Amino acid sequence: MTETGTGPVARIGEDVSPIDGVRSAVAGFARELKGFRAGIDSKLQQQEERMNILDRKTVMMARPALAAAADGEAPHKKALGTYLRSGDDEGLRGLTLEEKALSSTVNGDGGYLVDPVTAESIKSVLSDTASIRAIANVVNVEASSFDVLIDSTDAGAGWADETTASTETGTPTIERISIPLHELSALPKASQRLLDDSAFDVENWLAGRIADKFARAEAGAFINGDGTGKPTGILTHPAVDNDSWAWGNIGYVATGADGDFDGAEALIDLVYALGAQYRANGSFVMNSKTAGAVRKLKDADGRFLWSDGLAAGEPARLLGYPVLIAEDMPDIASAADAIAFGDFEAGYTIAERPDLRVLRDPFSAKPHVLFYATKRVGGDVSDFAAIKLLRFAVS
């Protein structure tokens, strides 16, 4: 018997054993099954390779490139620039950057969060302006308010020995101060022709205008804000004679003359009205007009109390403490609290959300385009013992 293909063929006159025939058939079936299986495995492998390639392409197309674009500009920054110039938000839709506390989202009113670089440049300008932000405690929050817990009293203590029974001591009191966040806005505008000019740096222009508006609005609120739709300022809280100071008020020291200085002693009294734990980080705050008057003061030996900074950018010093010029502080006048001294990092807290949103409005001021920028910020006194005022009054 010879095999043709996979099956046995009997020759004429040759006997074929039934067992041999079965064995031959089974062997042929096994070879065919093995070949079929190898073909299936090969096709599955090829299909898997094609799917892997397709999946990789899909993922790469779906996520934004975080590296710099071909022209050296980050895709988010480029997309935001396009949105500011023309209102085209296609590049911003669904784009999310892996940056701390900042991402680009599509808001219900069409506003977009600016890119981290622009936000940081605005924040840097705000920190460098003549505002108590430069010396206050600034915290980033994701909620609508920020709570500060302050231990407003000291725990009691007493001496004891082995035989005397211990007596109960005073228990410290915890004060909770809640600082709500309010919306701060700016509304710069530019002509569409200027925006169309490719040489015009729209992002830096926008950042500068927003920072200027925010800085002036914040500075005023941190000093005189009434807490209604804006931060609560330092001078909004009740001020009492420091000899009768109590928590919830800010203590003041009188100059001894109505609307004027009665010598330089009042400034020294102001410094030492502040607790020793705060004086090490103390700063004076006053406006330029008041600073001009203070510069003329001398001690008993004829030396000026005021000394200018020794290097560029270094603040001037009064009695050895830095001076912050805040133009929203009042001028010297009758009963005016024109000078503040204290540890403002402990005494005043500014809470803000880290994001900044911009809404483009090309319709309300044609042919100009308005940019409505908003951020949320709040501020309030967080330690009433850490700030003292100089009142220009007899008592």
Q: Could you give the count of Cα atoms lying within 13 Å of 179 in the half-sphere of its Cβ?
A: 29
On whether residue 20 sits in a domain, the answer given is no
Nearest to 250 by CA among 223, 287, 229, 277: 223
Q: Is residue 51 part of a domain?
A: no
Is residue 374 domain-resident? yes
Residue 198 counted as domain residue: yes
Quick one: pLDDT at residue 29? 72
Tokens 């929203």 -> residue: 328
Per-residue pLDDT at 360: 83
Q: How many domains does the chain have?
A: 2
Question: Would you state the pLDDT for residue 238?
Answer: 96
Query: Do 106 and 191 belong together in one domain?
Result: yes
Largest CA distance in the chain: 144
Nearest to 78 by CA among 27, 118, 45, 124: 118
CATH number at residue 326: 3.30.2320
Are 266 and 214 contained in the same domain? no
Please check whether residue 232 is in contact with residue 379, taking contact to mean a CB–CB distance below 8 angstroms: yes
Domain shared by 210 and 356, yes or no:
yes
Both 116 and 194 in a single domain?
A: yes
3-state SS, residue 391: strand
Judge if 364 and 286 occupy the same domain.
no
The answer to the question of residue 24 being in a domain is no
Q: Give the pair of three-digit tokens for residue 149.
A: 């817990």
Domain co-membership, 181 together with 119: yes
pLDDT at 101: 36
Residue among 283, 391, 254 nearest 346 (CA): 283
Give the pLDDT confidence score for residue 49 in this predicted structure.
Answer: 67
CATH number for the domain including 208? 3.30.2400
Domain match, 207 and 341 both: no
Kindly state whether residue 19 falls inside one of the protein's structural domains: no
Distance, CA of 328 to CA of 338 (rounded, Å): 10
Please list the ranges in the chain whose pLDDT falls under 70: 1-18, 22, 44, 47-81, 83-117, 152-173, 198, 312
Distance CA 151, CA 157 (A): 16
Tell me: do 260 and 317 sit in the same domain. Answer: yes
Query: 280 and 321 share a domain?
Result: yes
pLDDT recorded at residue 302: 86
Please tell me the predicted confidence (pLDDT) of residue 309: 76
> Is this model's pTM higher than 0.75 or not?
no
Instruction: Note the pLDDT tens digit of each residue in 138-184.
Output: 998 888 889 888 776 654 555 666 666 666 656 666 778 899 999 99
Sign, Cα dihedral of 377, 382, 386, 391:
positive
pLDDT at 12: 47
| Statement to judge: residues 257 and 357 lie in one domain | no
pLDDT for residue 57 = 46
Please indicate, yes or no, whether residues 215 and 363 belong to a single structural domain of this protein.
yes
Each residue's pLDDT tens digit, 76-116? 566 666 766 666 665 555 544 433 333 334 344 455 566 66
pLDDT at position 86 is 64
130: domain range? 75-152+172-228+352-380
Same domain, 139 and 278: no
The β-bridge relationship of strands 387-391 and 250-254 is parallel
Residue 107 forms part of a structural domain: yes
> 7 lies in a domain?
no
Give the pLDDT confidence score for residue 391 in this predicted structure: 97
